[in-house]
Chains A and B, each alone.
Chain A
Amino acid sequence: MDRSPAPRHYLAQLNVGRMQAPLDSLVMEPFMSRLDEINGLADGSPGFVWRLKSDSGNATDIRVDDDPTLLFNLSLWDSIQSLRDFVYRSRHLDLLRRRREFFVPLGEEHLVLWWVPSGHFPSLQEARQRLGDLRARGATQDAFTLRAPFAAPNA
């Protein structure tokens, strides 16, 4: 029987947003102008582990063919609290306050959380499947939200 200690898990989060206007428009300018600052803030936040980015350092050019107006934010954190502290208790909140200037309401869940074993970096495809799962079945251990969180496996 395998008696090695249970692997630790990290919290994965995917957030999708449908842009109000093209990225290079005046509408999106206030968002774009603060993107590097806020990404840097995330990178330096306690509990931040990883985020999906391209060579540009951000993820705005990571798009999908089936809906090119969607932007994605995919990241890993060491706990739900670390993620919450960054999202709601940092200058990131200022962009959150203004989110409707930049993103249209989706009318369905736009953020999904799940636990991944240490060393696994989820792909965008995998993350979108989790979001689909949340939308189809509601919050479960496999796909949940900040409002209906689940503890890490073996925690």
Chain B
Amino acid sequence: MRLLGDPVRRAAYELVVSRKRAVSRGEVADALGVSRTLAAFHLDRLAEAELLIVSQGRLGGRTGPGAGRPAKLYRQARPDLDLLIPPRRYDLAATLLADAVASVGAEAEVQRLARELGRRLAREEVASDPATGGAASTDPLLRILRNLGYAPRIAAGEIRLSNCPFHAIADQNAPVVCGMNHACLEGLVEGCGAELILSMDPGPGDCCVVLHLPARLPEF
């Protein structure tokens, strides 16, 4: 589906789906770290394609004078829609492979490869960026995180990831998949030369990894 080829649009769609309720343009913009205009643009394209249903409403149930103009809200149109056409069961393949990793105890090797992948993706992104000219920065990191579907959001000294790109298989194979994801993020941070420290602190609906500025590392 070319309609979902754009990473921001796909992230917007996946965010609405994951919330399981109607969400506003502002919520999507905040979660994805993009402008409200860009979020609205993608949400409206998704609505035109009938992937999302639009309604007017007020978040928080405010009514009467002073409640403000009703906001445009978006929710998933077809909960059973499979985004892969024709059917591809990557989820089954991934689950089987993760099971095999767990049963022979090859987690360390998966993590080594994931770290390497992260470093490579980061180096490519940094090298292709004319603005930074290869200098270390969190900007290329945020770009990669958005492109990979992590929907990063920056808050008080940390970067939280609003979406887990591996959610479908992480649920069944958390030790393998979350370990792989953590290692990949380590590689991305290292490859971008970003001064961030990773911790695992899963928030509701978020990816399990949080990226901290060094001074803000929580005490364990």
The interface centre, meaning the residue of A34, A93, A97 with most chain B CB atoms within 10 A of its CB, is A97
Do residues A94 and B200 form an inter-chain contact, with CB atoms below 8 A?
A: yes
B31-39, B66-74, B150-158, B171-179 - interface stretch: B171-179
How far is A93 from B176 in the complex, measured between Cα atoms in Å? Answer: 11
Do residues A99 and B220 form an inter-chain contact, with CB atoms below 8 A?
A: no
The answer to the question of B6 belonging to the interface, with a C-beta cut-off of 8 Å to chain A, is: no
Nearest B-chain residue to A110, judged by Cβ: B102
Do residues A88 and B202 form an inter-chain contact, with CB atoms below 8 A?
A: yes
Query: Size range of the interface on B?
Result: 20 to 34
The answer to the question of A8 belonging to the interface, with a C-beta cut-off of 8 Å to chain B, is: no
Given contacts A93-B208, A94-B200, A99-B107, whether A88 and B220 have CB atoms under 8 Å apart is no
Contact for B200 among A87, A91, A101, CB less than 8 A: A91
Contacts of A99 in B (CB 8 A): 107, 175
Contacts of A101 in B (CB 8 A): 108
Give residues 184-201 of B contacting A (CB, 8 Å). 199-201
How far is A65 from B220 in the complex, measured between Cα atoms in Å? Answer: 35
The answer to the question of A147 belonging to the interface, with a C-beta cut-off of 8 Å to chain B, is: yes
A interface, over-half SS = helix
Do residues B175 and A105 form an inter-chain contact, with CB atoms below 8 A?
A: no
Nearest B-chain residue to A104, judged by Cβ: B105
1/0 per residue A83-104: CB within 8 Å of B?
0000111110110111111001
How far is A107 from B103 in the complex, measured between Cα atoms in Å? Answer: 6
1/0 per residue B113-136: CB within 8 Å of A?
000000000000000000000000
Nearest A-chain residue to B172, judged by Cβ: A147
Given contacts A97-B175, A97-B179, whether A105 and B202 have CB atoms under 8 Å apart is no
- Shortest Cβ gap from B10 to chain A (Å): 24
How far is A153 from B200 in the complex, measured between Cα atoms in Å? Answer: 35
Interface set of B (CB-CB < 8 Å, partner A): 102-105, 107-108, 171-172, 174-175, 178-179, 182, 199-202, 204, 208, 220
